[in-house]
Structure 1
Amino acid sequence: MLLAEIQHKIQHANHLDFGQIFSESIELFKKVWIQGLITVLLSLGFSIPFTFTITIPMSFLGILSENHPSMANNIVPLILLIVVLVSFVLVVGLTIVLLGLKAAFYRIIFQYDLDMKVKEDYFYFLKRPYLSKTIALSFSYLGIILLATLLCYFPVIYVMVPMNFLFVIYAFNPELTVSNLVKVSFELGNKKWFITFGLTLVAGILAQTIGFMMCFVGIFATASFVSIPLYVIYKQVIGFDTSEIVKFDNNKNL
């Protein structure tokens, strides 16, 4: 879909009904909760090594400082520098993977929404020809979040709405440039900020509540529900043209 067409649809979007979107999100979640669970588990699987890579060296430094303070004074600065550099690389790498998985999940939601019988590809955006754009988009994502954090935490709350739309916009418009993807995400986020924030908040509370009621592990099964209202909003505001539907239906490698 052309950039101008997307922007026109956003600017002339109709009023969205909170209850209708929430109801449709629940019905759609019933179709894709297994795929959402797989996405969450994949994300968790990539995140765990990152956590251990950071916590183990820090624990080692703590033990070293307590038992051998003189040695720690010499070696701690070097290890801290290495940990910081490795952490930066891992954060970038993890962001690339998580962004790709999230965008692919939205494509899977679309397939189930239209009852398409196609292959589920959770790594669609982590392969050619989209990997380079996923990497570039991840740097933009991290840069915006970092800038918002440096400006104190209120801007983070604001930018999280358009940043969450970034996954959806990318999923269905990968032909757009990185700057245009970010631009459209902010335009849609600004236009529908309050209803999106409200839906995401309510969906998150509901997902956590039901997850805890299912002996905590249920959170893995309900976590993906938070993402679905964003898809429904995109569907109602921008939508999909006939060529996109045909492309999805014919591409058996998705």
Structure 2
Amino acid sequence: MRMVLHCGFHKTGTSSVQRMLERDRALLSAEMQIALKAEIRTAALAARAWSASGDPAKMSAYIYDLALFFESLDADDPRPLCLSSEDLCGLMPGRKALRDYRAAAALLPALANVACEVFPSADLTFYFSTRAPEPWVKSCYAQHLRASGIRDDFATYRAQYLPLADLDADIARINEAMPQHRVRQAALESMTGRLGPLDPLLDLVGISAGLRAQIAPLPPANTSLPQEVRDALLALNRRKMDSGERAARKQEIVRAARKEQKQSSAPKPLKG
């Protein structure tokens, strides 16, 4: 079975890719199998946990859950598999004191080993979307504000993590750890085609031009929040309050901001 495994990285257009794949599953099923976060949720959670702890039990759980996923696939299905989940590289740097994606150099070879055990003739291509350091660090920080209790302002975070923002180095470590498999990458800034970040992935899968032409582009997902919203999230992180209440308040703030962004970007009715 031929497999294209889009395993990273966070904040490089992955959400936009996954939204389009999910929306057009039925259409794309003519030429490819699709697996997203829902299909490998337990394995992804174990990958995240192992990246933070190094606990051998978490690695064992990760391998076991991957085996269940691959064994659920039909060995006689001739369509290539496209799997997309950035969590298979572990947690985003900045969470749990992680400074890079070094864990991926162990997690992804383990994934490859499981895939090849289940499908001895498997043909694997690992694909990574990347991003320039400055916008990537800024986007990661905004994500941490939403999803974690980070209390540093952006200047402090940037000073710590910008010198470490080298996704090419992460890919080089992954490539060195599994030289028998293809590793490909594309920069978000270069994805200027009609389907944006989905285009390089469809190129690797080999989707026909006719089928690709039927896919409608979507606006970018998880776009940057306004500065005043980021300030409000940081203020909540710095307050002493129940974690559940903080999470709920943050969700309300982000939901309201997204609603406003959607309304402001909607086409205005013509005045007659």
Name the structure, 1 or 2, with higher relative contact order (CA <8 Å, separation 6+).
Answer: 1
Shorter-chain TM-score: what band?
A: under 0.3
Higher strand share goes to which structure? Answer: 2
Q: Say which one has the larger Rg.
A: 1
Considering fraction of residues, name the structure with more helix: 1
Normalising by structure 1, what TM-score?
Answer: 0.27
TM-score normalised by the chain length of structure 2:
0.25
